C-alpha cells in the first residue's frame, strides 16, 4: 500500500484535494470497494465443497438405495444390505447418548449453579480440553482402557463407552450454558420465594433450559454418529445385530472406511456411498433441528425479560 510519508496512514485527504490530487483518495476507496467484491467470494471456498460433498454422495447413493436395501438384514459383506448396520448404529447412539447424558448433564448443571467462579472456570477449561481431544486419542484410550485393561475385548460395550466419553463434553457444555443463561431475576425470584436449590433446578431451571439442553444432546449425537476412529479402534465389525454387550458390532462409518480400503469391491463401495448418504442426512437433520430449536429458544429467553 502506498502510504504517505511521516504518518502510518493519511486519512485526511483534504490537503491532496486542495492541491487537486485525488489519486490517493481514489486508490483507497477503490481498494475498499474491491475488497467488498473479493472477500465475499471467499465464502465460495466454504460453500462449494459442502455442496459438492452432498451432491457427489447423493448422486452416487440415491440411485442404488431402496427400501429393501435399508431393511435387508442379510450379510452386508456379501450383498447390498444396510439393515444390520443401521440398527446397530441406532443401538450405539442410544447407549452412548444415555451414558454421555448421565456423565455430562449433572456436571453442567452443577457447574452453572453451584460452583464458585474460579472453580467453574477450571471445570469449563477441562470440558473444553476434552472436546478438543483428537478422536484417535479417545480411540486409543478406549482400546487400552476398555478393550485391554478391563478385558472387554473388541466388543459393542467398549465402543459404546468410548463414544460416550467422546460425546460427554458437548452435553456438559450445553447444560452449563443453558443454566448459565437463565436470566438472573428469575433465579433470584425463585430463591427469594424460598425455593431450595433442587426445587429451583427441577421446577424453574429445567423447563427454561430444556430446549437448549436438547440441542446439546442432538449436537453430541450428530458428532457421535459421524465419528469413525473411536469405533474402529475399539470394536470389531460384526455381521449381526449384537444380542449382548460383549459381541462384535458394525458401525455406519466403518462401512465408509471399508469402501475406501477396498475400492475394487463394488459391494463395499456401494455400501460406503449409501452409508455416507444416510450419515449426511442424519447429521444435517440434527443440525437443522438444533438451529431451529436454538432460534425459538432465543426468542423465548428474550420473552422472559419482558
Partner 1 sequence: MSSTPVPGVTGDREPLPSPSSSAARPRPPVGWRRRIWRLVPYVPALVPAAIVVAIAATLVVASGLHNFGLGFFGLAFNSNLNQFGMLVFIVGSFLTAVPALFLSMAIGLGIAIASTTYLPPFLAKIFDPFVDLLAGIPSVVYGIWAFLVIAPIFGNLLNPWAVAHLSFIPGFAGNSVSPTTAGVGLPISIFVLTLMSLPITTLLIRDALRSVPRDLWESGLALGATRWEVVRRVSLRHGSRGIWSAAFLGFGRAIGETVAVAMVIGSTDKLPTNVYDVTWTMSSFMFQTLDAAFGNSLYLAALAELALVLLVITLAVNLLGRRLVRHIYAEEVAGL
By CB under 8 A, residue 242 contacts partner 1? no
Tell me the C-alpha distance between 241 and 25, whole Å.
71
Query: Of the listed pieces 68-76, 85-93, 129-137, 184-192, which binds partner 1 according to CB under 8 A?
Result: 129-137
Residue span binding partner 1 (CB under 8 A) among the ranges 62-70, 75-83, 131-139, 242-250: 131-139
Return d(Cα 8, Cα 6) in angstroms, integer.
7
Tally the C-alpha atoms within 13 A of residue 56's C-alpha that lie toward its C-beta.
Answer: 8
Verify binding: residue 232, partner 1, rule CB under 8 A: yes
Alpha-helical regions (H) of the chain: 14-18, 23-41, 43-61, 67-71, 83-113, 117-131, 135-142, 156-180, 184-192, 197-199, 206-225, 229-234, 252-261, 266-304
A 10 A CB-CB count for 220 gives 29
Q: Looking at 61-69, 78-86, 240-248, 255-263, which segment touches partner 1 (CB under 8 A)?
A: 255-263
Which CB atom, from 74 or from 301, has the smaller least distance to partner 1? 301
The grid cell for 111 is 457447574
CA distance 145 to 165: 12
The residue among 241 and 279 lying less far from partner 1, judged by its C-beta, is 279
Kindly tell me which of 267 and 283 has the beta carbon lying closer to partner 1: 283
For the window 32-71, what string marks contact with partner 1 as x by the rule CB under 8 A? Answer: x--xx-xxx-xx-xxx-xx-xx--xx--------------
Options 61-69, 70-78, 88-96, 171-179: segment touching partner 1 (CB under 8 A): 171-179
Amino acid at each position: 500500500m502506498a502510504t504517505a510519508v511521516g504518518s502510518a496512514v493519511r486519512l485526511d485527504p483534504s490537503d491532496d484535494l486542495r492541491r487537486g490530487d485525488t489519486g490517493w483518495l481514489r486508490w483507497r476507496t477503490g481498494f475498499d470497494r474491491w475488497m467488498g467484491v473479493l472477500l465475499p467470494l471467499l465464502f465460495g471456498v466454504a460453500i462449494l465443497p459442502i455442496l459438492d460433498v452432498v451432491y457427489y454422495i447423493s448422486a452416487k447413493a440415491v440411485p442404488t438405495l431402496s427400501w429393501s436395501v435399508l431393511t435387508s438384514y442379510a450379510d452386508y459383506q456379501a450383498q447390498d444390505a444396510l439393515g444390520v448396520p443401521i440398527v446397530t448404529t441406532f443401538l450405539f447412539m442410544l447407549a452412548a447418548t444415555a451414558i454421555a447424558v448421565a456423565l455430562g448433564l449433572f456436571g453442567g448443571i452443577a457447574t452453572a449453579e453451584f460452583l464458585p467462579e474460579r472453580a467453574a472456570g477450571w471445570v469449563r477449561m477441562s470440558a473444553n480440553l476434552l472436546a478438543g481431544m483428537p478422536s484417535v486419542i479417545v480411540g486409543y484410550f478406549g482400546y487400552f482402557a476398555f478393550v485391554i485393561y478391563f478385558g472387554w475385548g473388541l466388543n459393542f460395550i467398549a465402543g459404546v463407552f468410548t463414544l460416550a466419553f467422546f460425546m460427554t463434553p458437548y452435553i456438559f457444555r450445553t447444560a452449563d450454558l443453558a443454566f448459565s443463561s437463565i436470566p438472573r431475576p428469575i433465579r433470584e425470584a425463585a430463591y427469594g420465594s424460598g425455593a431450595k436449590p433442587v426445587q429451583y433446578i427441577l421446577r424453574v431451571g429445567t423447563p427454561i433450559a430444556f430446549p437448549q439442553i436438547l440441542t446439546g444432546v442432538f449436537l453430541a449425537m450428530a458428532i457421535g454418529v459421524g465419528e469413525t476412529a473411536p469405533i474402529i479402534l475399539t470394536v470389531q465389525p460384526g455381521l449381526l445385530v449384537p444380542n449382548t454387550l460383549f459381541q462384535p458390532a458394525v458401525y455406519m462409518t466403518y462401512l465408509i472406511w471399508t469402501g475406501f480400503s477396498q475400492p475394487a469391491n463394488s459391494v463395499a463401495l456401494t455400501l460406503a456411498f449409501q452409508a455416507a448418504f444416510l450419515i449426511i442426512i442424519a447429521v444435517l437433520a440434527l443440525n437443522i433441528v438444533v438451529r431451529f430449536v436454538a432460534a425459538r429458544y432465543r426468542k423465548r429467553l428474550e420473552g422472559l425479560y419482558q
